[in-house]
Structure 1
Amino acid sequence: MEIKAIQATDELWNQAIQYANNCSWKAGPFLAKKMLNNDFSDWERVFIAVEGVNLMGYCSLVETDCIPDVSYTPYISHVFVGEEYRGKRISEHMIKAALAYAKNIGFSKVYLVSGEKGLYEKYGFTKIDDKKDYWGNEEQIFCINT
């Protein structure tokens, strides 16, 4: 398995769009649309886990996420691993790659929004806040030092 940071000029970009658009998670098509429209700043990236020609999962490092009116940035967002690949710590590898990239470009902290309890803490994230997202759902905001 390999983790790749991709942007619109990369050969796997369109394959990643299709994968995100057709995944079982409701946020996948949102990321696919963002990718299709190339709605990314110059430093934002999508990270994909690939093995051979198979995409196994993705996440992104972006300036903002689904929580309005907060100053936290950047975020690891859209963390997804295909059902057939779960239990192999793929999300951990993608998150570590995104954190290393964030540190390399000068960020000392990275944030993550999730309703999951106990998942991201095991990767070293600390819960710092509870906020409502754009749709009114209560979400947790986590932080980690890079």
Structure 2
Amino acid sequence: MIVVEFFSMNQPTEILEQIKNADWSGAKSLSRLLEEGSFHDRLGENARLLLLMEDEELAAFCTFADHDDVPDTNLAPWIGYVYTSEKFRGKRCAGQLIEAAERMAREDNDGYVYISTGHRGLYEKYGYELFTTLKNKHGQDSGIYRKKIK
């Protein structure tokens, strides 16, 4: 499996269809941002969509961005929209993408990487610690996890 960036692909429409057909509401939201051309408006001009590919099949994806679903914060960068296709679950796909995003953060000289989630027990295994709780854009409490990467 290899990690590629969506916006550097020659035929992203095939991948967009795979994202759109994923069995998660967050994937539907992400596909709308991509279709509408508002991905960078929403997540920041330097935002990237990382894809874990096995041949032509999308195994997993996540974003690495300046913004996430928690408004009005100066925290950055964020790993978001983390998803693994059912067929690939249990194979550490999310971990491979998180590690790729952390390498990008190191290259950018960022001190911490943040994840906003309602899940507990998932990101701790990748070295993330609960930092605080904030309201997301839907007014729900979201755990803000962070990891020091320097």
TM-score normalised per structure 2: 0.89
Which deviates further from its counterpart, 71-80 or 15-24?
A: 15-24
Question: Which residue number corresponds to residue 5 of structure 2?
Answer: 5
**TM superposition outliers: structure 1 runs of 4+ over 3 Å:** none
| 47, 59, 64: which one aligns with 1:61 | 64
Whole-angstrom distance in 1 between the partners of 2:14 and 2:111: 31
Which blocks of at least 5 consecutive residues in structure 1 are unaligned? none
Whole-angstrom distance in 2 between the partners of 1:99 and 1:144: 9
C-alpha displacement of 1:106: 2.6
Matches within 5 A, 1:1-146: 1-7=1-7, 9-36=8-35, 37=37, 39-40=39-40, 41-146=44-149
C-alpha displacement of 1:74: 1.1
- SS in structure 1 opposite 2:145? strand
C-alpha displacement of 1:6: 3.0
Q: When the two structures are aligned, how many residues end up with a matched partner?
A: 145
Whole-angstrom distance in 2 between the partners of 1:56 and 1:6: 13
**Equivalent pairs: percent with the same residue?**
25
Which deviates further from its counterpart, 61-70 or 74-83?
A: 61-70
Question: Contact (CA 8 Å) 1:6, 1:12: kept in 2 or not?
Answer: no
TM-score normalised per structure 1: 0.91
Whole-angstrom distance in 2 between the partners of 1:93 and 1:134: 28
C-alpha displacement of 1:52: 1.0
Q: 1:93 and 1:12, CA in 2 relative to 1: closer, same or farther beyond 3 A?
A: farther
Which deviates further from its counterpart, 59-68 or 103-112?
A: 103-112
Whole-angstrom distance in 1 between the partners of 2:121 and 2:59: 23
Q: How well do the aligned residues superpose, as a CA RMSD in angstroms?
A: 1.5
- SS in structure 2 opposite 1:111? strand
Question: Contact (CA 8 Å) 1:76, 1:112: kept in 2 or not?
Answer: yes
Question: Which has the larger helix fraction?
Answer: 2
Which blocks of at least 5 consecutive residues in structure 2 are unaligned? none
